[in-house]
Amino acid sequence: MEEDEDYEALFFAECADLLGDLQEQLDRIADGDEDPETINAAFRAVHSVKGGAAAFGFTDLIGFAHIFETVMDGIRSGRLETTPDLAMILVRAGDAMAHLVELASQGGGEPEAIVPRVKAELEEVAAQLGAEAAPKPQPEPEPAAESASQMGEAASREIRIRFAPGPDFFARGHDPLRIFRAARELGLMSAEVEGEAPPLSDLSFEACPFVWTLTFDTDRPDAEIDAFFDVCADAASIERLDGETPTEPTDPPTPTEPAARKQPPPQPAASAKKSGSGVARSLRVDLARVDKLVNLVGEIVITQAVLAQKLAEIDGAMTLEAGHSLEALNRQTRELQESVMTIRAQPVKSVFSRMPRIVRDLSETLGKRARLVISGENTEVDTTVIEELTEPLTHMLRNSMDHGLESAEERRAAGKPEEGVIHLSAEHRGERVIIQITDDGRGIDRDRVLAKAMERGLVGPGESLTPEEIDALIFHPGFSTSEKVSSVSGRGVGMDVVKKKIQSLGGRCTVRSEPGKGTEFTITLPLTLAVLDGMTIRVGSERFVLPLSSVIEAVRLEDCDVREMHDGSRMIGVRGAYLRLISLRKTLGLPPADAPETMAVVADTETDGHVALLVDELIGQRHVVLKSLETNFKRIDGVSGATILGDGRVALILDVPSLASLGLPRRTMQQETVH
C-alpha cells in the first residue's frame, strides 16, 4: 500500500512539528505559564497525534496519547490544577510520546521503560477526574460502516419504512430527495407521501411537512437497511412498518473520549498562527492601484454580460461548448472579483479598538459608570468603509453615553446595576456587514423627542406617529434633544450626520428602543461596494435590478389573496402572512400600465419585515456592477445606483428598505385624503 506509506510519511513529518510545539508548550507550562492558549495548543497537539495514530493503527501510541489527552483536557477545563509535580509529569509524557512516535515510524518495537512508568503516572492523575476518564480500548471501526459485501445477502423480501422528518430536517442539511435517490441502490421501489400534500404556499425552508412510506424490494440484510438511515436517524423518525424491530437511532460505538466538555474559548487568530513555517508574507500596495483593479473587474463583469447577450442573439452561436466556456468565464470573473475584494477587506478591529478609550474618557466627563463590550472585531469590511466608520461610531457611542445611559442614581432607582453596559458588535450577515451599538439605558424619551420635533416644526400638530416613527426622528437634520448643549453630544452634530455618512457608504442606519430597557443602533453596510448579485425585473418598459440578498421569493398574484385596505393600499397574503403590496410603477413614477401586474417579488426590508413589490416580469439573475448615481447625478430615494445590462441598457438598482418607506403613505397625507 504505497499510498498509505505516503500518508504515514506525512503524518510523521507533521508529528515532528507537533511534538516540537508540544515540548515548547509543556516547558512553558512547567515554568508556570497558565495562559489558556498554551494549554489549548498542547491539548491540540496531543489530540492530533492521537487522531493520526488511530488512523494508522499504532496501538501503543493510541493508548498513550489517549490518557495523555484526558489529562490535558482535565487541565484545560480547569478540573485539574497544574501543580509543579503535574507539570513535570506532562514534560515526561511529552518525551514518552515522542519516543512512541519514533518507534512507530521505525515500524514498531518494544517501548522503553519510561513509557509504562509515565503512563501509570498519567493514569493516576486521570483517576482524579473520575471513572469516565479511565482508558478504554480503542473501538473497532464502526460496524454500521461495513460494506454490503461483508454483510452478505438475505432473502428477497418487502420492507416498509415510515420516514417522518423532524422539525429541523432541512435546517440540518438533509434532503429527502437525495436520500431516496441513494436508497434506490438498496432496492427502494416507491416513496409514498402519507395523506394530502400541503399546498405549496404552506411549505417552509426549515421543516419538511411530508411523511413518507418507503417500500423496498430488497435482498439486503436488515442491518444494512437500518445503517442506511443512520445518517438521518437523528433528524427524522424512522419506523419499520412490516413488523420487524423498529430502527433505533444507532449511535457510533462506545465513546473512547471523555466528553467534549466546555469548548475552549475561541483563540485569537494571531497567536494561533505561530505554528507553521513562520513569517506571514505580505505586501504593501497603494490603495489607488487596488481601486484600479476593482474598476477593471467591474468592467469585465459588464463585458462578460454583453458577450453572453450577443452570443444568445446570434443563431447557433451558443453551442454547448460556448455555453460551458461562458459559464467558466462567469465563475472565474466572480472569483476574481471576490479575490480583489478580499484584498480591500480589513478587520473592523482597527476602529473598534479606539472605542474603549472614548467610553472611558466619557464616563469620567459625564460621571457615569459604563463598560464597553466588544464582539466580532475580526469581521472584515472594505478598507474605505473602515476609514469612514470612526467618526459615526464615535458619535453614536457619545450619544449612547450621553442620552442613553442614566446616571448612577437613576439606574439604582430603576433597579439596574450602577454600571451601564454598551455592546459594540460586528458580524457578516449574507452580503452585508451589521454593526450594532446597544446600551442598557433608559431608551429614547419619546415624549421629549416628539415635543422637540413639534417645536421645530418637524411634525405638524395633530399628526399621530408610531413609536418607531418617533424614534426615527432623531435622525432628522438639526435634531438634538440634549436640554443644554453639553460638551459631549450637543455640539451641533446630530444623528443626521451619522446617517448621512453611513448612507454615503451605501449603508443605512436604524434605531430600535424600548423605554427603560435601552436603545439599539444598527448600521448595515454592503460587503462590497462595487459588484452585487441582482435579480433583473421588468416594470412597464423599464428594467430594474433588485439585490438578490433582499429577494425572498417571487409569487404569482393569481395564487395569492390580495386585499384592498380602507386607505387604498393593498395587502397580499403569502404563506399565511399579510405583506404590504407596493406598486413600483406608482412609487417610481412610471407611466400607468396597459395591463395590471401579474407578479410580486417578496423582499426583505431588513428592519421592517417583508414587503411585496409588484412587477411585470422576472428577467433573470445576474452579477451587476454598481455605479454610483451620486457622483454624476444626485441621490434618489429608493435607488442605490445604476448598472449597465448585457444589452447595453442602463438599469437602476433598487434599494428595498428605502423603497418600502417611500411606498408608505405618510400619515398626514392619509388624513388629508380622508377629510
Partner 1 sequence: MSLVLAVDDTRALRNMLVDCLRSGGHDVIEASDGVEALEQLRAHKPDIVITDLNMPRMNGLDFIEAARREPEGRGLPMLLLTTETAQELKDRARQVKATGWIAKPFDPDQILSLVARLA
Task: Name residue 213's amino acid.
Answer: T
- Starting at the earlier edge strand, list the strands of the sheet with 518-526: 370-375, 420-429, 432-439, 518-526, 508-514
Q: Kindly identify the residues of this chain, within the stretch 310-369, that bind partner 1 according to CB under 8 A.
A: 335, 338
> Of 425-433, 561-569, 572-580, 637-645, which part binds partner 1 (CB under 8 A)?
425-433
For residue 425, give the C-alpha cell.
458588535
**Does residue number 272 form part of the binding site for partner 1 (CB under 8 A)?**
yes
For residue 653, give the C-alpha cell.
438598482
Q: Kindly identify the residues of this chain, within the stretch 201-230, that bind partner 1 according to CB under 8 A.
A: 205, 228, 230
**Does residue number 134 form part of the binding site for partner 1 (CB under 8 A)?**
no
DSSP 629-662: STTTS---TTEEEEEE-TTS-EEEEE-HHHHHHH
* Of 23, 27, 33, 54, the one binding partner 1 by CB under 8 A: 54
Closest residue by Cα to residue 570 from 665, 441, 491: 665
**Does residue number 184 form part of the binding site for partner 1 (CB under 8 A)?**
no
Closest residue by Cα to residue 414 from 301, 517, 286: 517
* Of 116, 198, 417, 430, the one binding partner 1 by CB under 8 A: 430
* Of 50, 119, 398, 585, the one binding partner 1 by CB under 8 A: 50
DSSP classification of residue 151: H
Select 83 or 342, whichever has its Cβ closest to partner 1.
342
Select 206 or 361, whichever has its Cβ closest to partner 1.
206
**Does residue number 622 form part of the binding site for partner 1 (CB under 8 A)?**
no
Q: How far apart are CA 137 and CA 340, in angstroms?
A: 51
Select 199 or 266, whichever has its Cβ closest to partner 1.
266
Beta-carbon contacts of residue 400 (< 8 Å; ≥ 6 apart): 422, 437, 439, 441, 519, 521
* Of 22, 26, 44, 304, the one binding partner 1 by CB under 8 A: 44
Locate cell 423582499: which residue? 603
Q: How far apart are CA 443 and CA 520, in angstroms?
A: 9
Of how many residues is the chain composed? 675
Could you tell me how far CA 70 lies from the centroid of its own chain?
33
Beta-carbon contacts of residue 149 (< 8 Å; ≥ 6 apart): none
Helix (H) or strand (E) holding 310: helix 287-313
> Of 54-62, 113-121, 451-459, 466-474, which part binds partner 1 (CB under 8 A)?
54-62
Closest distance between partner 1 and the C-beta of residue 327, in Å? Answer: 14
* Of 232, 297, 444, 502, the one binding partner 1 by CB under 8 A: 232
Count of other CB atoms within 10 angstroms of residue 427: 12
Q: Kindly identify the residues of this chain, within the stretch 558-577, that bind partner 1 according to CB under 8 A.
A: none
Residue 421's alpha-carbon distances to 51, 394, 439, 440, in angstroms, are 43, 16, 6, 6
Select 8 or 24, whichever has its Cβ closest to partner 1.
8
Interface mask toward partner 1 for 522-561; x: CB under 8 A: ---------------------------x------------
* Cβ proximity of 478 and 496 under 8 Å: yes
> Of 43-51, 299-307, 365-373, 447-455, which part binds partner 1 (CB under 8 A)?
43-51
> Of 141-149, 355-363, 393-401, 647-655, which part binds partner 1 (CB under 8 A)?
141-149
Half-sphere exposure of 172 (CA within 13 A, CB side): 13
* Of 171, 207, 326, 493, the one binding partner 1 by CB under 8 A: 171
* Of 51, 108, 323, 460, the one binding partner 1 by CB under 8 A: 51
Closest residue by Cα to residue 422 from 514, 355, 512: 355
Closest distance between partner 1 and the C-beta of residue 100, in Å? Answer: 16
Interface mask toward partner 1 for 234-263; x: CB under 8 A: xx---------------xxxxxxxxxxx-x
**Positions that interact with partner 1 (CB under 8 A):** 3, 6-8, 10-11, 14, 41, 43-44, 47-48, 50-52, 54-55, 57, 139, 141-142, 144-147, 168, 170-175, 178-179, 182-183, 205, 228, 230-232, 234-235, 251-261, 263-264, 266-267, 269, 272, 275, 335, 338, 428-431, 549
